[in-house]
Amino acid sequence: MKHFANFAFQMYTEIVFGKGTEAEAGNLIRKYGGSKVLLIYGGGSIKKSGLYDRVVKTLKGSGLSFAELGGVQANPRRSLVDKGIRIARDEKVDFLLAVGGGSAIDTAKAIGLALANDGEYWKFYNGIPAEKMAPVGTIHTISAAGSETSNSTVLVDDVTPGGRKQGLGWPPCRPVFAIMNPELTYSVSAYQTAAGSSDILAHTVSRYFCAAASRLGDEYAEGTMRTVVKYAPIAIAKPDDYEARAELMLAGSFSHNDVTGIGRSGPKGGEHALVTQLSGYYDTAHGADLAMIMPAWLQYITDHGSPEHLARVAQFGVKVFGAHPDMADVKATANEGLYHFRSWVKSIGMPLTLKEHGIPAGDLQAVIRRCLDSQKGTVKGFMDLGEEAVTAIFSSIVE
């Protein structure tokens, strides 16, 4: 009998879903006590699409004044957070509204931590628990990171020489509301849709591969992963397919708000720790990093793990990718599932090797060292991975 772990779950974020829902931003900000807003976004895409004008209209319509912080990059930078903190303090901001992708949301969360903690925020990325954050609302335009309902945020430390990409996950770091309009993701490129879908899948993979599981948790997780596997290719082939975009948008949020982790305990995943430093160093798409590493990581577990590890990979193959359930040969079942997994990754245009990902083969040792150094020598997770294991995994995907 499986151990069903104790857990605590709170769906803190109010989700407002559907067409045109960005028009409700002003009223929602008022609802959560905002009076002066810092509008945080990336490049010029929200202005070209008209979303910026619609957001400004709803803010003004609700009598809200606002300041702006543009220029958020993929793999968001600590230096821009520092700039945003100065603006927020000078303008006496009491609410952060992130419009764009996960990077804009993560930037808003960092600024929110600073506003609620006398300007301090970086210590929370170094293991100090956060107890409060200024309110953050979101209007996200890509289905990927799930930051709109999760308690996590990541930043690239471009302030400290030799700084790395660092993240946190503390209970107060969930937005108070998340506006979700699938139509806002129509303009997302095929590559970014694929990378985002891989990121969504990885957030559930991370929770799925753990020592203790529950049947209901498995059903939620497997259904979420099957949804991504089905609808990512549809959204890529037909960018304005509302159903596909809506399913991916919901999967992105529910994959990372802990619903798929109910009843689970103990070390989990490991795929994120393997690649966290890739995007910080090479400025690659995090979802593409994950698409590349997940099959290789699971292959290593299949080849070197315990019978329990092997059974879990086989279950994943059967329930998510439709592998034939041959319990007389569990390893064959697991390998069939991984074959289908790789085929899916390839079908959506994601890389399976470092070469395909644009990372030179000559950088292999540097990649391995950055991974191990960031994890203090051992990648902890569903199956702990030391230097030999990490080297084997990355060596298997050189080209």
Instruction: Report d(CA 189, CA 334) in Å as an integer.
Output: 32
pLDDT of residue 3: 60
Instruction: Report d(CA 204, CA 183) in Å as an integer.
Output: 24
Q: Cα Rg for the chain, rounded, in angstroms? A: 21
For range 353-375, the mean pLDDT: 90
pLDDT of residue 396: 97
Q: Which residues of 136-151 are buried (b: 16+ CB within 10 A; e: fewer)?
A: bbbbbbbbbbbbbbbb
pLDDT of residue 2: 53
pLDDT of residue 1: 37
Separation of CA 354 from chain center: 21
pLDDT of residue 399: 84
Strand order in the sheet with 136-140: 14-17, 177-180, 136-140, 95-100, 36-40, 65-69
For range 354-375, the mean pLDDT: 90
- The predicted-structure confidence for 128-176, as pLDDT tens digits, reads as follows 999 999 999 999 999 999 999 999 999 999 999 888 889 999 999 999 9
For range 318-323, the mean pLDDT: 98
pLDDT of residue 261: 87
For range 183-205, the mean pLDDT: 97
The helix (run of H) or strand (run of E) holding residue 98 is: strand 95-100
pLDDT of residue 163: 81
Helix spans in the chain (H): 25-31, 45-48, 51-61, 78-90, 102-116, 190-208, 215-237, 242-255, 271-282, 286-304, 307-321, 330-347, 364-374, 387-395
Does the structure show a pLDDT above 80 at 212? no
Instruction: Report d(CA 278, CA 270) in Å as an integer.
Output: 14
- The predicted-structure confidence for 238-255, as pLDDT tens digits, reads as follows 999 999 999 999 999 999
3-state secondary structure of 328: coil
- The predicted-structure confidence for 34-67, as pLDDT tens digits, reads as follows 999 999 999 889 999 999 999 999 999 999 999 9
- The predicted-structure confidence for 261-277, as pLDDT tens digits, reads as follows 888 877 889 999 999 88
* Average pLDDT over the chain, rounded to an integer: 94
Does the structure show a pLDDT above 80 at 73? yes
